[in-house]
Amino acid sequence: MPALTDHFTLANGVEIPKIGFGTWQIPDGTEAYDSVAAALQAGYRHIDTARAYGNEASVGRAIRDSGIARDQIFVTTKLPAEIKDYDQAKASFEKTITALDMDYVDLYLIHAPWPWSEHGADYREGNIAVWRAMEEIQEAGRARSIGVSNFSVQDIESLVGASKTVPQVNQIRYFVGHTQNEVTEYCKAHDILVEGYSPLATGAILDNADVRSIADKYGKSVAQLCIRYLLEKDVLPLPKTTTPSRIVENADVDFTISADDIAFLDGLVDTAR
Ligand code: NAP
């Protein structure tokens, strides 16, 4: 089945389209609206946004105006990393749902285990508190699935040890040369879907000569090769582009990378330079 119309199935049975359209750094307004509209037009049915991206309103409007039934589009958004309090988490979800102008989201994630300005700090208790809010949001049917992002094995274990729900997803930075094997393998073993953000290293991998040499073998662009690499690993890619031709290109990834070439790509380091 073409990757664009195929899906993974989360531990709770929810189906999630295999390629998601990323919207980080796409300004609210015309740019976010037009790129989400173009992605939907190109056949994407999975959009990844976040309260922190500031573009939920435009994303929601583009989805509504598309004429595609709401239940045919998978919408992910995220609780800001700075919020580590139950009441604030509940309040933030209301803001999100109002901005998106939707009754529910398909996936709601804790954006990071720590506020961005305190990378690595211990917010175990705060994460447990906001997770309880998210469990209630899911139980109320307002988020079909819930998960985390940027969580390490330890972060996940702290959360799971103190709550009743295992995250259905962990969204992490993942690209050729940056595959975070420990947390990826842990997630797979615990039926937590790994979503790979920045599959093109936010653009930094596109000039890598080694990656290009493999892409050339298949007559594919570096971007297509990099996105396909994640699919070969059963990691859900979330490429971002505001360029209409690239929106189409990034979804045209129905080819197979040989085991030898995967092994070569697995061995690459420092690809994002
Ligand atoms: P990315 O997809 O790794 O790379 C995007 C960059 O590559 C842009 O500069 C884009 O340029 C360029 N590009 C895209 N397709 C291309 C192509 N076919 N040929 C040449 N250049 C191409 O970017 P990302 O935004 O870092 O990550 C993707 C998504 O992951 C985000 O949008 C967001 O949804 C998610 N994310 C999540 C987190 C988190 O903490 N959970 C963090 C980062 C990202 P143009 O747009 O100019 O075409």
How many of the other CB atoms lie within 10 Å of CB of 5?
12
129 CA distance to ligand 1 middle (Å)? 31
Give the domain ranges of the chain: 2-266
Please enumerate in sequence order all residues whose Cβ is within 8 A of that of 86, keeping only pairs 6 or more positions apart, or say none. 129, 130, 132, 133
**Cα–Cα distance for residue pair 269/260, rounded to 1 Å:** 17
pLDDT per residue as tens, the chain (273 positions)? 899 999 999 999 999 999 999 999 999 999 999 999 999 999 999 999 999 999 999 999 999 999 999 999 999 999 999 999 999 999 999 999 999 999 999 999 999 999 999 999 999 999 999 999 999 999 999 999 999 999 999 999 999 999 999 999 999 999 999 999 999 999 999 999 999 999 999 999 999 999 999 999 999 999 999 999 999 999 999 999 999 999 999 999 999 999 999 999 999 999 997
Query: Which of 53, 174, 186, 197 is labelled catalytic?
Result: 53
Residue 149: closest CA among 237, 81, 235, 220: 81
Residue 43: closest CA among 250, 262, 269: 250
Q: Please tell me whether residue 130 adopts helix, strand or coil conformation.
A: helix
- For residue 12, what pLDDT is reported? 98
Domain 2-266 matching CATH 3.30.70.260: the answer reads: no
pTM (2 decimals)? 0.99
Residues with CB under 6 A from ligand 1: 22-25, 48, 111, 149-150, 171, 197-203, 206, 221, 223, 238-243, 246, 249-250
